[in-house]
Amino acid sequence: MSTTLEHPSTLTVSQTLSGVDALPAHPSLAETLSQTLALAWRATMKMRRNFEQMFDVTIQPILFTAMFAYIFGGAISGDVDAYLPLIITGLIGQTVLTACIATGVQLREDMDKGVFDRFKSLPIARIAPLAGPMLADMLRYLIASVLTFTVGIAMGYRPGGGVLGVAGAIVLAVLAGWSLAWIFAWFGTIGRNAQGVQGISMMVMFPLTFLSNAFVPTETMPGWLRAFADANPVSLVINAIRDLANEGAVTAHVGWAALGLAVVVAIFAPLTVRSYSRRM
Amino acid sequence: MTTSHPSDGGHEPAVQATGLVKTFGTNRAVDGIDLEVVRGEVFGVLGPNGAGKTTMLQMLATLLTIDAGEARVFGQDVRRQPHVVRQLIGVTGQYASVDENLTASENLLLFGRLLGLGSRRARVVGAELLGQFGLEDAADRPISQFSGGMRRRLDLAVSLITRPPLIFLDEPTTGLDPRTRGQMWDTIRTLVGEGSTVLLTTQYLDEADQLAHRIAVIDRGRKVAQGTPDELKSQVGSSTLQLRLADPTRTAAAVDVVRRVAGDEPVLTPEAGGINVPMRDANLAADVLIGLRSEDLLITSATVQKPTLDEVFMALTGHGAEDTGTDGTDGTDGTDGAVDHDTPDSPDSPGRDDRHDRDLETVR
């Protein structure tokens, strides 16, 4: 260690102190945004260094797509090819939802680390350490949806919506992932530890996925179950993805999906921010 | 270290806290602490594990809510203006709070960006700090490969990105080897030389003595003493003579001799025949030994040591004797200075009041 710590690139102590009364009382919107981006960058570096944490959006979609298509294809749609337009779009909903679990679990793990104490002591927006990773996780949903489509196409799926329709479906899937992730981020802020968060998240993820139209048409379900499955935001998203990818059409289903996701965000984002700020 | 404390002529003190309280359940971790830190000084908060040092520091650093009382940092209310206060402070925790997933230079880049530096400037400042802390060779290594000392240095470097006027150091050298500790001390002195104010917590009397202009001793969430290192040491004695008698049955006779020669109350250790004698002057040791010899009280060993935190506590709070009943201290543990008591039990426990009226006069 050298004897001097002066560095010309920042203010000196006396410069900072002479302007104490002029220091802002809150971070500005532009600062909040740039802090969120810096923390999103941190999250992507973390993804790069811990590739095993990406299995749920890489290996898993490949495995599940092949597995579900070959197992259920004959039983549900007569043959695998006829099932592909149903299952591939359904699986996109399922993989994105699974990927959301990691958002909550990793948030919990992060919050338990010393580096979060540092975030708390910095003059940064309280929301930035939450918003940063959630922004970066959109990359994970993108990878998951692109891979699922790719595997489907390799298996013979020919989406009727063409390139534009599929691109629209992917954009919707990524936005759906970001919106649904608020549910799991909330679990992340209220759970005692990462295992606990993982536990609750699985318990919620399974009914949300299977009590939907992801794998089977809801017409075959008993009435009460069908009512739930049809109102499930995951079903709304999958309907919209099907219309976009298979028809290339922006239908009412897309509107319903947007509304469903907006409701999820409107409920869970404030809950998350509140319990998170309490921890801060 | 001198006992005078510099001031840059600023108006408000760096820290001014009155009646700080933090309660966890029924445990009053911080129980009404007043504190004033003058600009430009190193203020040491000394106390054992669980005394409430870290809790107090976290309240001042906006990391914990303040349950009662008031705190101001450079005149800014910590409760009402947390964002302003955060722009004035740097916090280096007990456990390195840097990102394990990033390299050293990436950490500095991230925190530079978060603190509002542009990407290019953040890199420049980061490179400068790595050089100043002797970490340039490790710049691109993941933190997981860092030694404890390297992490602590990086942690401090991150806290200095914007040169905050007030730096909180929570046990900055706990767990460091002596050489790294010395380097850390040098760095802290340099910071103060450049105008920063430092509030540090420590379990080591030695560290507080080396660095601090003034010291507050914290025990069970309360301030039990405050003063310059010299003032505190004059309360405790500058050193301790540790004796071991050859014949433990003659302990009482030996205690009489010690009392007569040294004039201080000796403390019996749990081991039979062990006596600790606090001394204002180390040279008294020879007189004590001669006194014992002339009474034919044989010893197996005699060592003169600087007072440990245990002994400071003994002198200031009378704990050891009280906690372990009749046979005196719970032993001196020079390695971590931990005192054998934990969190406050009952605020009304006997003897508590007279323990707290021994505050030294506050130096202003």
Inter-chain CB proximity B190 and A4 less than 8 Å: yes
Number of residues assigned to chain B: 364
Measure CB to CB from residue B86 to each of A3, A14, A121 and give the nearest one.
Answer: A121
Measure CB to CB from residue B161 to each of A10, A46, A50 and give the nearest one.
Answer: A10
Asked if this assembly's ipTM is beyond 0.90, the reply is no
Q: Which two tokens stand for residue B127?
A: 């490179």
Question: CA–CA distance from B314 to each of A238, B225, B232, B329 (Å)?
Answer: 71, 12, 12, 8
- For residue A165, the SS3 value is helix
- For residue B98, the SS3 value is coil
Number of residues assigned to chain A: 280
Question: CA–CA distance from B6 to each of A140, B189, B361 (Å)?
Answer: 55, 13, 19
Q: Is the Cβ–Cβ distance between B87 and A123 less than 8 Å?
A: yes
Taking CA–CA distances from B106, the nearest residue in chain A reads A42
Amino acid B323: pLDDT: 39
Range ranked top by mean pLDDT from A2-11, A37-46, B311-320, B330-339: A37-46
**A41 part of contact set with chain B, CB < 8 Å:** yes
Report DSSP letters for B49-75, one per residue.
Answer: TTSSHHHHHHHHTTSS--SEEEEEETT
Q: How confident is the model at residue B168 (pLDDT cuts 50, 70, 90)?
A: very high
Residues forming a β-bridge with B33? B20
- List, in order, residues 6 or more apart from A41 with CB less than 8 Å away: A132, A136, B110, B113
pLDDT averaged over chain B?
80
Measure CB to CB from residue A31 to each of B62, B116, B187 and give the nearest one.
Answer: B116
Domains and CATH numbers, chain B: 15-233 (3.40.50.300), 236-356 (3.30.70.100)
**A192 part of contact set with chain B, CB < 8 Å:** no
Q: Which two tokens stand for residue B238?
A: 């500058």
Amino acid B343: pLDDT: 38
Region of A209 on the Ramachandran plot (φ > 0 left; ψ -120 to 50 alpha; else beta) = alpha
Q: How confident is the model at residue B133 (pLDDT cuts 50, 70, 90)?
A: confident
Angle at B83 (CA atoms; ends A111, A272), nearest 5 degrees: 40
Q: Is the Cβ–Cβ distance between B101 and A50 less than 8 Å?
A: yes
- pTM equals 0.77
Inter-chain CB proximity B114 and A39 less than 8 Å: yes
Taking CA–CA distances from A124, the nearest residue in chain B reads B114
- List, in order, residues 6 or more apart from B225 with CB less than 8 Å away: B216, B217, B232, B235, B316, B358, B359, B360
CA atoms within 13 A on the CB side of B356: 16
- For residue A19, the SS3 value is coil
Amino acid A10: pLDDT: 55
pLDDT at B113 over 50: yes
Mean pLDDT, rounded, for B294-307? 85
Q: For residue A30, which residues of chain B lie inside 8 Å, CB to CB?
A: none
Q: Which two tokens stand for residue A269?
A: 């984002």
Q: Which two tokens stand for residue B78?
A: 């910590």
Chain B residues 66-95 with CB within 8 Å of chain A: 74-76, 81, 83-84, 86-91, 93, 95
Q: For residue B164, which residues of chain A lie inside 8 Å, CB to CB?
A: 13, 16
pLDDT at B356 over 50: no
pLDDT averaged over chain A?
88
What are φ and ψ of residue B105, in 5° steps?
Answer: -70, -30
Q: Which of A26-30, B34-38, B47-51, B339-343 has the lowest mean pLDDT?
A: B339-343
Count CB pairs under 8 A between chains A and B.
143
Element (H, E) at B22: strand B15-24
pLDDT at A5 over 80: no
Chain A residues 49-88 with CB within 8 Å of chain B: 49-50
Measure CB to CB from residue B101 to each of A1, A7, A45 and give the nearest one.
Answer: A45
Question: CA–CA distance from A23 to each of A18, A26, B60, B168 (Å)?
Answer: 10, 9, 18, 20
Closest CA to A241 of A140, A159, A179, A138: A159
* B86-110 pLDDT, tens digit each: 999 999 877 668 888 899 999 999 9
* B11-55 pLDDT, tens digit each: 789 999 999 999 998 889 999 999 999 999 999 999 888 889 999
Q: Which of A45-54, A222-231, B11-20, B135-144 has the lowest mean pLDDT?
A: A45-54
* B197-215 pLDDT, tens digit each: 999 999 888 888 889 999 9
* A103-127 pLDDT, tens digit each: 999 889 888 887 888 898 899 998 8
What is the distance between the alpha carbons of residues B214 and B210, in angstroms, rounded to a whole number? 11
**A121 part of contact set with chain B, CB < 8 Å:** yes
pLDDT at B351 over 60: no
Inter-chain CB proximity A1 and B89 less than 8 Å: no
**CA atoms A206, A207, A209, A214: torsion sign:** positive
Q: Which two tokens stand for residue A112?
A: 């338990």
Closest CA to B32 of B64, B69, B79, B78: B69
Test the A interface: residue of B72, B80, B94, B114 with most A CBs within 10 Å: B114
* A176-215 pLDDT, tens digit each: 999 999 999 999 999 888 889 999 999 999 889 889 988 8
Amino acid B308: pLDDT: 65
